[in-house]
Amino acid sequence: MEDTSNGTHQLATFGGGCFWCLEAVLQRIEGVLSVTSGYAAGTTPHPTYEQVCTGETGHAEVVQVAFDPSMITYDELLDLFWQMHDPTTLNRQGADVGTQYRSIILTVNEAQKSSAERSRKKAQKNFHDPIVTEIRPLDTFWKAEDYHQNYYNSHTNVGYCRMVISPKLRKLKLE
């Protein structure tokens, strides 16, 4: 995929379990301009949530983050990425199980790839088990259905939000 950064913002794409969790965390970070939930790294064009949930599309639930590099760097986002989820569990985050929940960093250029690889190596020192996070080029990002966007902020009292996302935000001192 072509590098779509411009003079005012850059893009980063991460997967680490349910995209609602990553979205909720990243929306609270200064310098993050927008967070879009979607699907990437699979083979099915224009996938739906129902298709991705089958595990047959190859897609992961991901978020695409537009950020202002004068306020937060890609490397700082990577540091946060390792704290937002458990990168040592293959195709699983908590009760969410399947390839769509895998840990993945999708890069748009060589600089991001190098940063991600360097960051993974540095982060490994903080984990007993080996990090299983994939790092690969972003081919196509498919925006998820509208009801997945801004999920936590719109559904704070839903069970999943109260039991999974809220504790994560508290742990990261974002709520």
Please tell me which residue in 18, 21, 53, 161 is annotated as part of the active site.
Answer: 18
- Compute the CA torsion angle 114, 119, 125, 128 (nearest 10 deg): -90
The answer to whether residue 3 sits within a structural domain is no
E-state strands within 17-162: 32-40, 60-67, 92-93, 96-97, 103-107, 134-137, 142-143
Domain that holds residue 163: 10-171
The structure's pTM equals 0.93
The answer to whether residue 80 is domain-embedded is yes
pLDDT of residue 6: 55
Confirm whether 1 is domain-assigned: no
Q: pLDDT at position 8, please?
A: 82
Residue 4 resides in a domain: no
Domain total of the chain: 1
**Phi, psi (rounded to 5 degrees) for 115:** -60, -45
Given a contact cutoff of 8 angstroms between Cβ atoms, the answer to whether 104 and 12 are in contact is no
Asked if residue 38 is part of any domain, the answer here is: yes
Residue 53 Cα distances to 46, 47, 114, angstroms: 14, 10, 31
Q: How far apart are the first and last CA of the chain?
A: 35
Looking at the domain assignment, is residue 2 inside a domain? no
Q: Considering the domain boundaries, does residue 148 fall inside one?
A: yes
The pLDDT of residue 7 is: 64
Question: Residue 163 belongs to a domain with what CATH number?
Answer: 3.30.1060.10
- 53 tagged catalytic: no
**Residue 130 counted as domain residue:** yes
pLDDT in tens, the chain (175 residues): 444 455 689 999 999 999 999 999 999 999 999 999 999 999 999 999 999 999 999 999 999 999 999 999 999 999 999 999 999 999 999 889 999 999 999 999 999 999 999 999 999 999 999 999 999 999 999 999 999 999 999 999 999 999 999 999 999 999 8
